[in-house]
Structure formats: structure tokens, C-alpha cells
Amino acid sequence: AMQYVGSPYVYGAAGPNAFDCSGFVQYVYAQMGISLPRTSGAQAAAGTMVSAAEAQPGDVIWWPGHVAIYAGDGMMVSAEDESTGVRYLPVRSGGTFLRM
């Protein structure tokens, strides 16, 4: 996931040159041979909830309408928006950690 930091955010894009949030998660997982659904809601339904304390790098973090990849140590990689693109940043509160 880290290799895509700095990539542009484009709504509906699923890589490899631009991403939206769920397209980013789907694309990164596909590089590891794991097939995920396309939308954030469907991705959330595909995972198994784990606590923040149990979260491991690579787990998905879901908020209503958004997903990101947990990077460990309270950080995430997320396709944020058109102005910032894919970023490495602290995990925002209120997310649900999911193991795929």
C-alpha cells in the first residue's frame, strides 16, 4: 500500500495510476492475490471485525462511505480526496477494523 502514497484520487478509479478509497483497498489486496468486492460497504461486509488492539498491518478500516488500510502503529494508508490523493496518516477515530 505504501508504494501508492502520492497517487491521485479519482472517484471511481481502481488503479493502478489513480484510486478512490474502495478501489485502492481492492487493488492493493488484489496484488496479494485476495479478491475483494468493489464498494466500501461490500468490503465491510466481507471482513471479520477485530478490535483496535488486535488490528494488524493490512487490516481494513471502515467508516460509513470510506475504507483505508491499517499500516500499524496507529497509522493508515488511505485514498483521501481529490486534493490530497493517497496518504499515509494517523487513523481517524470511529473506524471499524476488519480482517479480510
With a cut of 50, which residues of the chain have pLDDT below it?
none
Of all residues in the chain, what percent carry a pLDDT higher than 90? 100
Of all residues in the chain, what percent carry a pLDDT higher than 70? 100
Phi, psi of 37 (to 5 degrees): -65, 170
Instruction: Scan for cell 481502481, then name that residue.
Output: 14
Residue 2: burial class (beta carbons within 10 Å; 0-12, 13-18, 19+): exposed
Please name every residue paired with 9 in a beta bridge, in sequence order, or none if there are none: 19
Report helix, strand or coil for 35: coil
